[in-house]
Structure 1
Amino acid sequence: MAASPPRREAVPARHLARITDLALAVLTLVFFVAVALATGVHNPWSGPIPLGLFLGALLLVRRRWPMTVLLLSIGGVIVYHLTGHWSPAGWIWPAAVAYFTAATTPHVRWAAAAGLAQLVHSAIDFRLVLDLNPSRYLVHVAGEGLLLAILIVAGRSYAAASRRREQLREADDRARVAEERLRVSHEVHDVIAHTLAVVGVQLNVAADTLEEDPAAAAAALSLAKDVRNRAMADLRSLIAILRDGPEGTAPQADLASLDTLVADARAAGLEVTFEEHGDRAAVTAIPAIAVHRVVQESLANTLKHAEASEVTVTIGYGPRSIVVEITDDGRGASGAGAGTAGHGLAGMRERVSALGGAFTAGPAPGGGFAVRAEIPVAGGSTA
């Protein structure tokens, strides 16, 4: 199956990311300026507002250049202090979002190193307080260090959670691909089994009547050719799925093809009684494919293994489920047919069970072999 295209971020997610970055930029500006005003800064335009605008603007590109944003943010805070401005918000907090973002990248060690360097610079810059108020100095330095550690740990935790979510998404994608492969293998088996059964019977007819009745032999060969052409069309659709992935063209099997299956079986020599009850047109695609494949596989098994002359196909389309019953007058499970058709029966059972339905197959009470499938429709239940 073709490789999946690279995962692209959904448009709503990109919009949410932009809104989040804008909100963080505004919060950085507002909080930094508000703290400055609350602690006695009389002219915020001389320092806090320009620094807040600078730090906020950097956050708008933090996802694209996280380390660059962090280094520029640290540089802005240092220049702010070196020019004689006092920061009531400390050294680490103004660059908190930049630290967190950098910690989510593989460059977390460089982010931690830059943070330690900033902490050392902060401790040296605040050293005058050490002699006057040692407790305040320790609280300041320890608080800055604790904040830095929290930001680094939070960033790493967020990155690990993001990787885990991505791994779960990839595992889910692989499971869907495997499920699709299994479904396509069932489709291929059903198409080939039905085709070989009908074509085999027609070739036997042609071989037996070639000399005595050339017209009958020609008709049998013509029918075998038609069945083969239809099978090739089905196989081309399935190959397209394998080539293009699960989003490719779906198989063409549907309820409209049931009449063709019955006609093929009759042409192969079976006396087929086909009865339907309910509204066929109301059935959606997924259960319709399942019904088609159950009938197809059952008729193929009857032709190949049962040595039957008559088969009855009854389908009831109900509001909650579809009931499919196929009964023939062949050997049932007493002969080789049971073992030989085992793979086909297992495939039908898996297909019906996957839809939440019930499947049974075995000797019929009056002789022969019976298959019964109860398939839920949308919103229905077999209960």
Structure 2
Amino acid sequence: MVLFRRVLGFADGDLLLAGAVAVASLLDPARRDAVPLAFALLGAVALPGRERWPVATVLLTCGAFGGALAYGGLPLAACVPALVGVYTAAVRRRRLSAAAGALLVVAGAALWPAPATSARLIFTVTWLALFCVALLIGETVAARREEAAARERERLATERERLAREVHDVVGHSVTGIAVQSAAALHLLGDGAGRSPELRETLTAIRDAGRTAMRELQATLGWLHGESPGLDRLDALEAAMRDAGLPVTITREGPDGPVPAAVGHAAYRIVQEALTNTLRHAGAGATAEVSVRYGTELTVEVTDEGGVRPREEGAGGGCGIEGMRARAADLGGSVTAGPAAGGGFRVLARLPVDPA
């Protein structure tokens, strides 16, 4: 069970429920034929995949139960995976799949051999009502989850606003003061810097660092205020990197379809971090290429021709790369980073277009 959970991502509760359904089907004293039993076991086997493959699960579980009914069997234990499958599809907003699963059961019930048409009709209506209840329960749970998520987003937005004000008041003023004071010192130094060029270089570095910190701070505050840069900001990022001395080339492949905001924001931040690492560590004369490929998943690849950064290699990689991996993992994606085959460094991110 632990192996299945780790390798396939199955939940322990689903595995236990599937096992219970299988045992109940095998011990059902009413079974007289192996065919309904086979259908029941098929539904039990399909049940653990409901979270990962909700559409396939609802069709398999409902199809198996409907097939058992149409054959003439009534393995009551097999109705449990079918009901759970319809509920799961409804919770995941796969309404058409949930309705199709319920109809498979109803079709099987309508074909169930009965001595009278009225008995078959009552039998069919009973199963239709039962599966409609499962569908409605799933829809209700999904709506409540969405409401809870909306409230949580509102709470986080309020918290970000408060944090942005605190950072602006405490950090922003201090960094601005450093930049202004260093610029004023350079002005007052005037021609006297000829006797101490190191002093002018130091003050210039402090002034430039202060200005850079303010730009980064403004970008962070913009994110805290709800501004989430996405793939539409890559051209601006390219220009900023070129101004900083890193030539960047960006290419796009595939149909440029809509990308969820969270996925676009994560992709932008991964590219930004990868290019910043190149700028810091790849050395003079380095160039970088960014490739964005659209499809069933969003693939972002950043390669450079600079030297390999030792502190970013191996298991103890830099925190920047770990941050990229964390962003991708939050969406169900992945990031690989390491030396490129022809020299330099390569970062490859794969992000599902539908993180849900």
Provide TM-score, normalisation by structure 2.
Answer: 0.46
Task: Tell which structure's C-alpha radius of gyration is larger.
Answer: 1
Provide TM-score, normalisation by structure 1.
Answer: 0.43
